[in-house]
Structure 1
Amino acid sequence: MNEFVTLNTGARMPRIGLGTWQSPLSEVKSAVKAAIDAGYRHIDTAYAYGNEAAIGEALQEVFAEGKIRREDLFITTKLWNTFHRPEHVRECLEYSLRQLQLGYVDLYLVHNTVAWKYQPPPSLGRAEDDPVPFQQTWHAMEELVDLGLAKAIGVSNACGAMLWDILAYARIPPAMNQIELHPFCPQPELIQYCLRKGIQVTAYSPLGSHGTRAAAGDATQNVLLEDPVVRAIAAKHHQTPAQVCLRWAYQREGGRLCVIPKSTRPDHIRDNLGMCGWALDEADMRQLDSRPFYRFFDKIEMYGVPLFH
């Protein structure tokens, strides 16, 4: 399996990264340092996670210790919903860069294709919808590349129709679509469309998630790692259920997807690298591909917009 994907910019992106959503401020700094020590070279964060300052402290410490150079890391962050108006797109990235103590990010994603009324940083509250034409937002994203503040740009949670729209007017096409992806939410058609168009795919929440639907009392939350098929395949290969789910994503499409499992525990961070060095067989992949559909992140509940398929 390849350890990198090549973006449509020509840049190489490590296929395995550390996800940091819901990583507490008290833990995310040590998690980033543990990940870099374990061999991770890809860190994924976002303005909306509220923990970029702690991540920036971790990065500066490992740089100062001489463990790694900035150019050896691939850092992704994201434009939040309240900054979609073109006059605010650069503001959001520059705020993130100050928090991260970096001069640029390797990849800057539009976190969601829904826009809210502007709120100045560091606000994270829900705001009223704002009918900003996405074309305006995208052209402002392209300017960030021109300025050298982002090496590549892309989207997150975008459906095929949204990507088709962006490609119709993009001067710089999206390099990435980051989507919910795990055995309960395989999204094969969307993945294949992205790859045909030269857009790479990153799997977020590849182990499921303690997401927004749990707060609504969804009884089916947290079932991915307890799924009997996942557990049986794990026993067959003497791996953990988490490693099975990660390996499933890592093998998809001939090894062309990126995966960003989140953890703050050093042992889990190291264990998640255990997706490498072994393989699921075709029967395993078919079984995992056929699990009942379930999406942990319901966009209607989160943003009041339809599900992204």
Structure 2
Amino acid sequence: MQVDSNNRIGIPRLGFGTAEYPFGLSAETMKETILHAIKLGYRHFDTAANYQSEQYLGEAISDALTLGLIKSRDELFITSKLWCSDAHHDRVLPALQKTLKNLKLEYLDLYLIHFPVSVKPGEITFPFPKEDIVTMDFKSVWEAMEECVELGLTKSIGVSNFSCKKLEIILSTAKIPPAVNQVEMSSVWQQKKLRDFCDEKGIIVEAYSPLGANGALWGTNRVMKNDVIKNIALAKGKSVAQICLRWVYEQGVVVIVKSFNKERMKENLDIFDWQLSSEELYQINQIPQEKAFPALEFIYSEGPYKTVDEFWDGEI
């Protein structure tokens, strides 16, 4: 199942995420995990320069082709992201070229600006020294992203963790509008205002951490521990995770799931042949809202964002 972006690029509605904090923690098993995901039927994979998973995703794609699990790379939808230290006009193209080398690919399907922040050029690290945070030149960075499309190195471009206001800044000068805004979204952080804005502008919303990412740097257990979700899962004979993922899916967005557990990887695919009732949707919509990832790492008294409110433009 796919959804078309504003540049008509079809995006599979369920993606497999490869971020695990600390980054590189599962390096020894990452390639086999991704290969197993391909065997199960996942065709959309999400990585980033700072996840330290690009190389292993590339190796898994090569093995999948050799083993005949896929006939061509074109069967896959591959996303990666530009890290903050490369979010400068003259560093975007070299960063994408390095990503493609890591992945052993000729092109990406989607390339995203990871955060609306630049840091001084240097090694890819997270967290980074706050004194290295600088203001992003949205116009020039986006022009460099557009050049990547024109060169055929990525089919589409987008952003991640952008507010409505920051999307407006990009849209005000863009020749190629963002195809995607990848953001935190779950039953406890439903993003209605942002989804309405993106829908109006033809921008697809992709949901990361739909299960709360408990245990990660930015995680919360409020999603999986929610009594409303638990009761619906019990009544439907589904897992709590499946209810959470189905709810996000039914909002018309792309869902990025991340589990390296083989049983849960299979379970997360089983969300398509059933649906939530109008009463169940209503109950979920009443859940109190709280963002799990306020992005405190980007807040600095001497930097471009001095408060959480400035970073998210009052949207949390």
Whether 2:169 is the aligned partner of 1:165: answer yes
Q: Can you list the C-alpha shifts for 1:215-271, whole angstroms capped at 9, x where unaligned?
A: xxxxxx32311111110000011000000000000101xxx2100110111211110
Q: Can you list the C-alpha shifts for 1:152-196, whole angstroms capped at 9, x where unaligned?
A: 000000100011111110010000000100011001110011011
Which residue of 2 is the match for residue 103 of structure 1?
A: 106
Runs of 4+ in 1 over 4 A off after TM superposition: 122-125
Q: Can you list the C-alpha shifts for 1:129-157, whole angstroms capped at 9, x where unaligned?
A: 12331111000000000111110000000
Counterpart among 253, 265, 269 of residue 257 in structure 1: 253
Question: 2:81 aligns to what SS in structure 1?
Answer: strand
- 1:211·1:297 contact (CA, 8 Å) conserved in 2? no
Question: 2:257 aligns to what SS in structure 1?
Answer: coil
- Check 1:282–1:78 CA distance in 2 against 1; reply closer, same or farther (3 A cut): same
Which residue of 1 is the match for residue 83 of structure 2?
A: 80
Task: Tell me the distance in 1 between the aligned counterparts of 2:32 and 2:134.
Answer: 37
Q: CA deviation at 1:204?
A: 0.4
Q: Can you list the C-alpha shifts for 1:85-114, whole angstroms capped at 9, x where unaligned?
A: 111011111111111111110000000001
Runs (5+) with no aligned partner, structure 1: 215-220
Whether 2:56 is the aligned partner of 1:51: answer no
Which residue of 1 is the match for residue 216 of structure 2?
A: 211
Q: CA deviation at 1:281?
A: 0.7
- 2:133·2:298 contact (CA, 8 Å) conserved in 1? no
Question: 2:141 aligns to what SS in structure 1?
Answer: helix
Which residue of 2 is the match for residue 284 of structure 1?
A: 280
CA RMSD of aligned residues (A): 1.4
Task: Tell me the distance in 1 between the aligned counterparts of 2:61 and 2:28.
Answer: 15
Q: CA deviation at 1:123?
A: 5.1
Question: 1:292 aligns to what SS in structure 2?
Answer: coil
Counterpart among 298, 306, 314 of residue 303 in structure 1: 298
Counterpart among 258, 269, 272 of residue 268 in structure 2: 272
Q: CA deviation at 1:298?
A: 1.4
Q: CA deviation at 1:213?
A: 4.7
Task: Tell me the distance in 2 between the aligned counterparts of 1:202 and 1:156.
Answer: 9
Which residue of 1 is the match for residue 7 of structure 2?
A: 9
Whether 2:229 is the aligned partner of 1:230: answer yes
- Check 1:124–1:50 CA distance in 2 against 1; reply closer, same or farther (3 A cut): farther
Task: Tell me the distance in 2 between the aligned counterparts of 1:30 and 1:260.
Answer: 19
User: Which amino acid counterpart does residue 212 of structure 1 have in structure 2?
Assistant: L
Runs (5+) with no aligned partner, structure 2: 300-304
Task: Tell me the distance in 2 between the aligned counterparts of 1:246 and 1:80.
Answer: 27
Which residue of 2 is the match for residue 217 of structure 1?
A: none
Q: CA deviation at 1:286?
A: 1.4
Q: In the comparison of the two structures, how many residue pairs are matched?
A: 296
Deviates more, 1:45-54 or 1:125-134: 125-134
User: Which amino acid counterpart does residue 45 of structure 1 have in structure 2?
Assistant: T
- Check 1:108–1:279 CA distance in 2 against 1; reply closer, same or farther (3 A cut): same
Q: CA deviation at 1:24?
A: 1.8
- Check 1:153–1:58 CA distance in 2 against 1; reply closer, same or farther (3 A cut): same
Question: 2:231 aligns to what SS in structure 1?
Answer: helix
Task: Tell me the distance in 2 between the aligned counterparts of 1:146 and 1:213.
Answer: 35
Q: CA deviation at 1:211?
A: 3.0
TM-score (structure 2 length as normaliser): 0.90
- Aligned pairs for 1:190-201 (under 5 A) are 190-201=194-205
Which residue of 1 is the match for residue 37 of structure 2?
A: 35
Question: 2:111 aligns to what SS in structure 1?
Answer: strand
- Check 1:181–1:124 CA distance in 2 against 1; reply closer, same or farther (3 A cut): closer
Whether 2:176 is the aligned partner of 1:178: answer no
